[in-house]
Amino acid sequence: MVVKKAAADLDLGTVRAFVAITEDRYFSEAAARLGISQQAISKRVAKLESDLGLRLFFRSRNGADLTEDGRAFLPHARALVGIADQALEVLRGRRCALRVDVLDTRLASIDLIRAFHQAIEDVDIDIITSDGFRSARAALARGSIDVAFGRVSGTLEEELRCVPAYLEPVHLLLGRHHPLAGRQQVEMGRLSGSTVWMPGNAAGSEWAEYYRFLGAAFDIQIDASGPNFGYEHFVQEIGSGERVGFVGERTRVPWHPGTVQVPLVDPTPMYPWSLLRHHQNQHPALGLLTHYVASNYRPFNPQHQWLPEPDRAAFTADPGLEQQPIGQWR
């Protein structure tokens, strides 16, 4: 019976050392080019020869010369190193930009990202829109995005990390002829028993859950009937009828002559935005963004603001960073 030795997995570092020696001829010069010691490069070549079960070099006064097996292996070794270098170059290119997932470019998260980009000008950013954390959580796990902004709902996967980012006041959007349109602010108690139209509240979304909590807390009926034709249609319908809607303070609502946006108070409903990331993501700009977000965060004030009960614990504590904020975005 003939017992065959199992094929060895080649160590790319040893192959790279082999190629460097063939180009420089001397172990010392090849080691200097690779930034390692002569002893280290000798160990790498010895390991490669052991893995292959072949002798690749013999030494002479003129340096290291290839054996017949070494000459046969050389073109394949060069191809392996070349493919590895190409792969690394592709990945470096993909990792240049910080891939940021946002729900919509009209929302508050885009202002925060823009302010960060202005504060840290040498960071490239790619903006990606999705349907919220329902898809962003899986995209973070796959590595197709680096960070996502939205409201965290439910239990997070163990590998994800969440940082409170911003509490955004909710405003009332209503037509100019509505009885509340002339007020500087509207107390939440005045909305008791009313209906607020929000056709963009997709079933199962984290924002639909938020407004469900809000409606239950203040005796407000949330009408999510659609279809949802976008912000322009939403604003037009509000301006031309008796309907009212909720919008974030920083939402870039399309201008319409028939609508007004009024702050809500006593208490002010706050929409909780979080930064979500994967704990294994090593993008060099991600730490900067996380620190920027955390250092500019202002915690929940239960005396004047309202949050759903599930959101309060995470948004009440101050991160307490010792470093100073990197710019301001407010």
User: Each residue of 60-75: pLDDT tens digit?
Assistant: 878 888 999 999 999 9
- 44, 48, 45, 21: which is closest to 32 by C-alpha? 21
For residue 237, what pLDDT band results from cuts at 50, 70 and 90? very high
For residue 44, what pLDDT band results from cuts at 50, 70 and 90? very high
Helix, strand, coil percent values for the chain (each to nearest 5)? 40, 20, 40
Question: Helix or strand or coil: residue 179?
Answer: coil
Q: What is the pLDDT of residue 326?
A: 43
Q: How far apart are CA 199 and CA 201, in angstroms?
A: 6
Q: How far apart are CA 290 and CA 284, in angstroms?
A: 11
Residue 93: which H helix or E strand, with range?
A: helix 68-94
- What residue ranges define each of the domains in the chain, with the CATH number in brackets? 12-94 (1.10.10.10), 97-316 (3.40.190.290)
- 312, 220, 244: which is closest to 212 by C-alpha? 220
Q: What is the pLDDT of residue 324?
A: 39
Supply the pTM of this predicted model. 0.71
CB 307 within 8 A of CB 270: yes
CA 127 to chain CA mean position, Å: 10
CB 274 within 8 A of CB 152: yes
Read off the pLDDT of residues 193-228 as tens digits, 9 standing for 90 and up: 999 999 999 888 999 999 999 999 999 999 999 889
Instruction: Tell me the pairing of strands 124-129 and 195-197.
Output: unpaired
Q: What is the mean pLDDT of residues 187-196?
A: 96
Q: How far apart are CA 293 and CA 297, in angstroms?
A: 6
Q: How far apart are CA 281 and CA 99, in angstroms?
A: 12
Q: How far apart are CA 245 and CA 304, in angstroms?
A: 22
Q: What is the DSSP string of 226-254?
A: S----HHHHHHHHHHSS-EEEEETT--PP
Read off the pLDDT of residues 269-319 as tens digits, 9 standing for 90 and up: 999 999 999 999 988 899 999 999 998 899 999 999 999 999 999 998 665
Q: How far apart are CA 185 and CA 172, in angstroms?
A: 9
For residue 323, what pLDDT band results from cuts at 50, 70 and 90? very low
Q: How far apart are CA 104 and CA 101, in angstroms?
A: 9
- pLDDT of 41 higher than 80: yes
Read off the pLDDT of residues 118-177 as tens digits, 9 standing for 90 and up: 888 778 899 999 888 888 888 998 888 999 999 998 888 889 999 999 999 999 999 999
Q: Which tokens is 216 given?
A: 């239950």
